[in-house]
């Protein structure tokens, strides 16, 4: 099994590079948008010799809550399909600071035993009619850098959206409105459909409020109607472990992590006060791989020694 990880980060290169290297160590590939220009150049140099780490260039900047994130993720899928010598079984998106909380062997075994698409739909407009009104509004300040963290900017974004809505300035969406977790684990077939129809995101979700919580599920619902999936994202995110609407992954404690043994991924670990937990999770994905590599190396050495012995006998 081969996995394509789709990531973004606005952090420094020394936070980005170790994660990329760990995820790519066993043959998986990492596609990452690096929002900071200086960090992007540094990361590019640091991973220049690793053919399994790809720095996104079609859209370099990504931010939660803004269309740049889902659009960039869809373009990363296109980049993955453009690789002539690679075929990926699964596409998995990871928010900044999110890491696997299981080993690669455990993740692969789970997906082999339970194949399919994983994404979580919380509700549709059928259960919550107000969801359509919210989704049709234009949120004019979502592309500001401080939008995810500034209460003042978020308040004014909602005020402006309500004003434009009163004037009748709103988007047109004929399909069913859905909302749920921004994280997914998608099969090659489903990811390909999204990649081929990536323009839908730009056409339908300009100036949206956290479009990553709607775009993926709505695209699958539109282009693959009645498509079966597991309605779960298999992530544990702080502080209580569950996805919260209009909010990305937040600092995760070890207590919350332990309370969700079913999770395959978790975060964010960057902002955790527990540095030891972050380091442990950073190493988690490749647990057992080093031992296997060392055992294989010992086998190779044994084989070399045997060949030397044969040569020695032949010279007698």
Is 37:11 a contact under the CB 8 Å cutoff?
no
Containing domain of residue 217, as a range? 3-125+178-295
pTM for the predicted model, two decimal places? 0.89
CATH number at residue 212: 3.90.550
Q: Does some domain include residue 170?
A: no
As beta bridge partners, residue 178 has 124
Query: Is there a contact between 278 and 260 (Cβ–Cβ < 8 Å)?
Result: no
Would 106 be classed as within a structural domain? Answer: yes
Q: What is the DSSP letter of 10?
A: -
Domain count for the chain, please give it.
1
Residue 78: inside a domain: yes
User: Which tens digit of pLDDT belongs to each residue from 263-273?
Assistant: 999 988 876 67
Q: Which residues pair with 179 in a beta bridge?
A: 123
The model's pLDDT over 130-184, given as tens digits with 9 standing for 90+, comes to: 999 999 999 999 988 889 889 999 999 999 999 998 999 999 999 999 999 999 9
Give the other-Cβ count within 10 Å of 259's Cβ.
Answer: 12
Can you give the length of the chain in residues? Answer: 316
């Amino acid at each position: 099994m081969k996995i394509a990880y789709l990531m973004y980060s606005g952090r420094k290169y020394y936070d980005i590079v170790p994660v990329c290297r760990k995820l790519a160590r066993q043959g998986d590939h990492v596609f990452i948008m690096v929002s900071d220009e200086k960090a992007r150049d540094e990361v590019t140099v640091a991973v220049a010799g690793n053919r399994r780490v790809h720095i996104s260039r079609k859209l370099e900047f990504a931010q939660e809550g803004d269309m740049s994130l889902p659009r960039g993720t869809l373009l990363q899928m296109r980049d993955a399909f453009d690789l002539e010598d690679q075929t990926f079984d699964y596409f998995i998106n990871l928010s900044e600071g999110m890491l696997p909380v299981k080993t690669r062997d455990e993740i692969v075994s789970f997906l082999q035993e339970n194949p399919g698409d994983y994404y979580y739909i919380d509700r549709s407009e059928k259960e919550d009619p107000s969801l359509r009104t919210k989704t049709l509004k234009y949120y004019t300040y979502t592309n500001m850098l401080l939008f995810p963290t500034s209460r003042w900017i978020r308040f004014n974004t909602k005020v402006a959206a309500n004003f434009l809505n009163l004037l009748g300035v709103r988007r047109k969406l004929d399909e069913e409105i859905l909302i749920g977790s921004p994280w997914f684990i998608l099969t090659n077939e489903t990811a390909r459909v999204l990649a081929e129809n990536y323009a839908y995101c730009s056409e339908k979700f300009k100036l949206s409020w956290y479009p990553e919580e709607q775009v993926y599920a709505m695209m699958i619902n539109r282009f693959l109607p009645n498509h079966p999936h597991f309605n779960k994202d298999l992530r544990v995110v702080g502080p209580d472990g569950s996805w919260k609407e209009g909010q990305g992954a937040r600092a995760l404690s070890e207590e919350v992590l332990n309370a969700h043994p079913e999770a395959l991924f978790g975060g964010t670990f960057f902002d955790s006060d527990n540095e030891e937990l972050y380091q442990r999770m950073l190493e988690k994905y490749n647990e057992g791989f080093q031992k296997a590599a060392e055992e294989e190396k010992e086998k190779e050495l044994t084989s070399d020694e045997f060949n030397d012995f044969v040569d020695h006998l032949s010279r007698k």
